[in-house]
Structures are given as C-alpha cells and as structure tokens.
Amino acid sequence: MLPELVRDHTVHAIYHNTPLFLPPCGFTVADIREGSALASIFSQFQPELVIHLAGITAVSHALAITEGDVKAINVTASGILAKLSQEYSAKIIYTSTDLVYSGDEGGMVKEEGKLNPLSLYASTKLEGETAVRGATDDYLILRLALMYGFSNGKVKSFFQEAYNKVKSGQKVVLFEDQYRSSLSVLDAAGMMKKLVTTEQNYKLLNFGSGERTSRAQLLPVLSKKPDLMKVFSKFAH
C-alpha cells in the first residue's frame, strides 16, 4: 500500500525503533507516548488523515515492558493521537483487533457482537478505541482479523514464525479451538488503500475476510494457494 500512497499523496511516517519506510516517504523517529513530539510533527505536517498502526502487540514484546507501558502506548497515546487529529481536522484510522470480541455467539461475528477481551493486549486495544472515540468524532476503528504474511518489523507474526519453523523441519504448536477470520496482508493493504482513497462514513468495521480458520488450519489452507505462497516467499526471511 505504502508505495502507491507515496506516489499519489504526501506521506509522512513516524517510526520508533525499526525503520520500515523507504524514501521518498518522509519520516520522523518518535515515541508516540511523547505528546510534545507528536504535537510538533502535527504542526509541521498538518495531516489530513492519520493511520495509527503503532501498538504493543506481541506477548513476548509486551513481557519486556511493564503493564503501564502497554497501557501508555495502546491507550493513552491513542487518545493523544486522536486529540491531535481532531485539532488539525484530520480523520484518524485506529487499528484495533477482533480479539475484543467474546466470540460466544459462534460463526462470523458482526461489529455489534458481544465484547470480552481476555488479554492485556485485547483489553488495552479496546480501551484505545474508547480513548479515540472520546477525543474526536472523525474516526474509523478497524478491528483487524488474524493477519498472515511476512513482516520486515521487529515483531514477527505467528504465521511468519510458524512458516520458518515448518521450513526448517521444526514442530509448531498452534491453537485448534480458537477460530478467527484470517486475512492476507496483501488483501489487507488493498482494502486499506480503498478505505483511504474513497469517500466513506464508517465508524467501526471488522477488517477481515470470509475465511474462518483456526491457526492450525491456516498453514494447510495456504499450502492450497500456491500463487499466494509464491508471492509471500519473495518476502520470507
């Protein structure tokens, strides 16, 4: 998505530790907990749209920092970003997770489904949603499904780790009793681009696919999609 957005728009990225943005995309290194740094970036670049993807997502990553840090990043900083977006009349897209749902209903869950986040990650993402809603009226919350694909970031997705283990002949232990909608990062990028570049007034969307799989089912399902695996293997490392 980024190369196409950079081609058609002025894009300025913020990153923390891992530089993932290639020129001609401008970037600033910042910690989103630092409100004054964010205020200065907003004042300099006056964004029309803010896509907020930052967060503490992985348990192994979360273990290296305190619960307070997870809340500061997933909740408080999301509220600060939303408040700044409101001040600059910019829409904010906040990426939440489908793990906020209880899933008790079974089947595919709609946006109005029962909520019951069971982990620190899921509960802070839900609190982040509330912080965004409290700070601005011009927002879109996306509850992202289980994503599969490869990442250049510091945190590798479960899919990437499982893929690498299978490739090197190691065993992988996966949930078989938790069902989620699974979404390819390539499809997600296309969907995100459409949301960003077309007029729409959604406030809350489940951002997933029609595929309902457990993690244990996902790898075998993908082995039946050789074209997709061919594309992915270019990014594998």
C-beta closer to ligand NAP: residue 199 or 237: 237
Q: Is the dihedral of CA 211, 213, 215, 217 positive or negative?
A: negative
x/- site string to ligand NAP, residues 26 to 45, per CB under 6 A?
-----xxx------------
Question: Under the criterion CB under 6 A, does residue 180 sit at the interface with ligand NAP?
Answer: no
By CB under 6 A, name the one of 122, 140, 144, 196 that touches ligand NAP.
144
- Specify which residues 210 forms β-bridges with: none
Tokens 């190369």 map to which residue? 3
Stretch that binds ligand NAP, among 5-13, 153-161, 169-177, 210-218 (CB under 6 A): 153-161
Stretch that binds ligand NAP, among 111-119, 151-159, 165-173, 211-219 (CB under 6 A): 151-159
By CB under 6 A, name the one of 28, 86, 151, 214 that touches ligand NAP.
151
Nearest CA to 179 among 150, 208, 222?
A: 208
Question: Under the criterion CB under 6 A, does residue 21 sit at the interface with ligand NAP?
Answer: no
Nearest CA to 187 among 207, 168, 212, 169?
A: 207
In contact, 75 and 124? CB cutoff 8 Å? yes
By CB under 6 A, name the one of 95, 123, 160, 184 that touches ligand NAP.
95
Q: How far is the CB of 108 from ligand NAP (least distance, A)?
A: 16
By CB under 6 A, name the one of 10, 18, 46, 89 that touches ligand NAP.
18
Question: Under the criterion CB under 6 A, does residue 140 sit at the interface with ligand NAP?
Answer: no
Give the residues lining the site for ligand NAP (CB under 6 A): 15-18, 31-33, 53-58, 73, 95, 97, 125, 144, 146-147, 151, 153-155, 157
